A and B are shown apart, each in its own frame.
Chain A
Amino acid sequence: MSNKKLSDLAKTIRSKNAGTDKITFDVIFRAADAYELVKRSGALSRDSVASLLKIDPARITDFVEYDPAYAIKFTILRKRPSGSAGDGDIFGAQQYAPLLDIVIDDAA
């Protein structure tokens, strides 16, 4: 068994506002093999993401495996709308960083 980080396998890992009340995360792979490997590993799921970000799974409004783009995508509800005073990331563009180090068992 060997392990890789999600950042070694994915081409793009990003986050961005989806409207004023949600942030959406995209993990996009170059080709089917890495995409299928991560899907099979189960390391990226509603539960794993909720646990990583310490949020109630009910705040994850969508979790989609999007085959045409070799992409896994999920969306979370913000606690307060974007740009409310104290929001540290109005665009939601720097929320993806914890995903980079998710460990994928590539023997899966």
Chain B
Amino acid sequence: MKSLKIICPNGHLGFAPLKVESFRLGVAEKPDYIAADSGSDDIGPVPLGSDTCASPASWQEHDLEQMLLAARELGVPMIIGSAGDTGSNSRVDMYVGMIRDIARRHNLPAFRIGWFYSELDKELVRGKIRSGSAVKGLDARDDLTEDELDATTRIVAMAGVHPFVSLLEEKCDVIIGGRCSDSAVFAAPALYHGFPEAQSYYLGKVLECASFCAEPYGAKETVLGEITDEWVEVTAMHPEQRCTVASVAGHAMYERSNPYHEFVAGGMLDMTDCHYEQVSDKTTRVTGMRFVPAEELRVKLEGSGKVGERYVGMAGIRDPYTISNVDEVMAWGRRQVEERFGPEGWELHFNVFGRDGIMGEMEPLRDRPGHEVLVVVQGVAPTPEMAEEVAITGTRQLFYARLPDVKGTAGGVSFVFDEVLPASPAHRWTLNHTMAVEKPLELFPTATEIVGAKTFADA
């Protein structure tokens, strides 16, 4: 029976380095593709808005080097999606540059690299809105307004399989993708080789987070997926991990609001009637998946907008009376900022760790704070100078808060350092929407080149 094997060594390439031992075991299985997704919106809106990565370049290069050397050794394609966390254009260029550098360093024989971009011009989105084609909100958001578009710094569209398939048709050995849905990285080669949509998208869904579909828990380990016209099998490569019925079925619900349905550009993977079977110690086989094509092609958009520059301060409290009145203490700090800067044009945020710093209003125990708490203070304003002053006013003034019955009149809080620290500019997710397109490739321009060919000619 015709089949195709893909290994995935990392569920979010670059966020923490892949584990080499299980990756080499995966390579020894002689897969037909090596693929991983590098993107996530978990990391918050700052990297997309400020066009940065969430992790050091050295971690990303480590994983790309491992994957590229193995792929060239086997003579099979390597596919990366959502380059550099966000899949913005600069992150795609950065990964393509890293691939060129690694190839040069290792004197790799010539190969073809292809890439595509996912960033969207705001004016294109504005044109859609003005033409009456609503950019529809997801997750209870309103449809996109031009005001919200104006507040947006950068937009990426989430590609489906289409630009990957297009680059495979151009015989690329290495593909670096802009922002895309995680599963597209794996579904694309399966579709390119003629496997059915349901099995192909399921393969993508189960492989996208690498060893998160295995047990016991252990991230960044390699898993192997195999697809035929009838089933998908997934096998853990780490010697101590197994893909079990429970771990594979359980993974279907990871990071998603509904375990039965997965929406991608072009349709919906329906896992309602999936059947899971343990076919060997480390391998589970899945059948019964279905694919429902979409009636209208809509592409998901992610957008991030800059709110302001940001500084952060911290203050500890040990006095139980002050802890029980910490809201008064913070209100005092806020009033001092208001006196200096007026009621608007800045933001001051307090998180009280030891009380409700993590869960906020949802914290069931917020009326039972610990014996000591830490107040994390964030000041946000249009300029760095003003943000610093907002943050240091909101922090330093906690020291001088006026509580009527406090015994300690020499200082109301503790400092581990008497300064505020520059932080990443504050951003917010402005777009979590979908936009109608006519052709699946229209937002995702592709390019290719030969890498490594000039090794001798240059000499």
Q: A98 to nearest B CB, angstroms?
A: 5
A90–B42 CB distance below 8 A: yes
User: Is B351 interfacial (CB 8 A cutoff)?
Assistant: yes
User: Is B246 interfacial (CB 8 A cutoff)?
Assistant: yes
B362 contact from A66, A84, A95, Cβ within 8 A: A95
Compute how far the CA of A105 lies from the CA of B429 in the bound complex, rounded to whole angstroms: 42
A26 contact from B140, B253, B364, B378, Cβ within 8 A: B253
Considering the complex, give the chain A residue whose CB is closest to the CB of B366: A54
B428–A21 CB distance below 8 A: no
User: Which B360-376 residues have a C-beta within 8 angstroms of A?
Assistant: 360-365
List B contacts of A28 (CB < 8 A). Answer: 246, 250
Compute how far the CA of A64 lies from the CA of B361 in the bound complex, rounded to whole angstroms: 24
Considering the complex, give the chain A residue whose CB is closest to the CB of B276: A68
**Mask: chain A, 20-62; 1 = CB below 8 Å from B; 0 = not:** 1110101010100000000000000000000011110000011
A24–B257 CB distance below 8 A: yes
A24–B45 CB distance below 8 A: no
A98–B364 CB distance below 8 A: yes
Q: Which among A19, A24, A28, A68 has the greatest number of chain B C-beta atoms within 10 A? A: A68
B302 contact from A20, A68, A87, Cβ within 8 A: A20
B255–A16 CB distance below 8 A: yes
Compute how far the CA of A83 lies from the CA of B257 in the bound complex, rounded to whole angstroms: 19
Compute how far the CA of A1 lies from the CA of B349 in the bound complex, rounded to whole angstroms: 47
User: Is B453 interfacial (CB 8 A cutoff)?
Assistant: no
Considering the complex, give the chain A residue whose CB is closest to the CB of B362: A53
A19-B41, A53-B364, A71-B250 known; A83-B255 Cβ under 8 A = no
A54-B364, A66-B259, A86-B351 known; A16-B254 Cβ under 8 A = yes
A88-B351, A90-B43 known; A81-B428 Cβ under 8 A = yes
B257–A85 CB distance below 8 A: no
User: Which B421-444 residues have a C-beta within 8 angstroms of A?
Assistant: 426-429, 432
B378–A20 CB distance below 8 A: no
Compute how far the CA of A57 lies from the CA of B154 in the bound complex, rounded to whole angstroms: 34
A61–B42 CB distance below 8 A: no
Q: B336 to nearest A CB, angstroms?
A: 19
**Mask: chain B, 408-432; 1 = CB below 8 Å from A; 0 = not:** 0000000000000000001111001
B364–A52 CB distance below 8 A: yes
B256–A82 CB distance below 8 A: no
A69–B138 CB distance below 8 A: no
A53-B364, A69-B250 known; A21-B359 Cβ under 8 A = no
A22 contact from B139, B310, B360, B362, Cβ within 8 A: B139
A81–B45 CB distance below 8 A: yes
User: Is B297 interfacial (CB 8 A cutoff)?
Assistant: no
* Chain B interfacial residues counted at CB < 8 A: 49
User: Is B131 interfacial (CB 8 A cutoff)?
Assistant: no
Considering the complex, give the chain B residue whose CB is closest to the CB of A26: B253
Considering the complex, give the chain A residue whose CB is closest to the CB of B139: A21
Chain A interface category by residue count = 35 or more
User: Is B94 interfacial (CB 8 A cutoff)?
Assistant: no
**Mask: chain A, 69-100; 1 = CB below 8 Å from B; 0 = not:** 11101010101111111111111001101100
Q: B46 to nearest A CB, angstroms?
A: 7
User: Is B141 interfacial (CB 8 A cutoff)?
Assistant: yes
User: Which B259-284 residues have a C-beta within 8 angstroms of A?
Assistant: 259-260, 274, 276
Q: A76 to nearest B CB, angstroms?
A: 9
List B contacts of A12 (CB < 8 A). Answer: 250
A88–B357 CB distance below 8 A: yes
Compute how far the CA of A70 lies from the CA of B258 in the bound complex, rounded to whole angstroms: 14
A88-B359, A91-B42, A95-B359 known; A77-B140 Cβ under 8 A = yes
A64–B43 CB distance below 8 A: no
User: Is B98 interfacial (CB 8 A cutoff)?
Assistant: no
User: Is B347 interfacial (CB 8 A cutoff)?
Assistant: yes
A85 contact from B307, B359, B360, Cβ within 8 A: B307
**Mask: chain B, 29-67; 1 = CB below 8 Å from A; 0 = not:** 000000000000111111000000000000000000000
User: Is A108 interfacial (CB 8 A cutoff)?
Assistant: no
Considering the complex, give the chain B residue whose CB is closest to the CB of A80: B428
Compute how far the CA of A45 lies from the CA of B255 in the bound complex, rounded to whole angstroms: 20
B362–A55 CB distance below 8 A: yes
B249–A69 CB distance below 8 A: yes
List B contacts of A52 (CB < 8 A). Answer: 364
User: Which A-B residue pairs are the 3 nearest by beta carbons?
Assistant: A83-B44, A86-B349, A75-B257
10 A-B pairs (CB sep. < 8 Å) = A24-B255, A28-B246, A28-B250, A77-B140, A81-B45, A81-B432, A82-B44, A85-B349, A88-B357, A98-B359
Q: A18-B255, A19-B432, A81-B432 are in contact. List 10 more A-B contacts (CB 8 A).
A: A17-B41, A17-B42, A17-B255, A20-B139, A79-B361, A81-B428, A86-B349, A87-B44, A95-B358, A98-B359
B residues adjacent to A (C-beta < 8 A): 41-46, 138-141, 245-246, 249-250, 252-260, 274, 276, 302, 307, 310, 347, 349-351, 353, 357-365, 378, 380, 426-429, 432
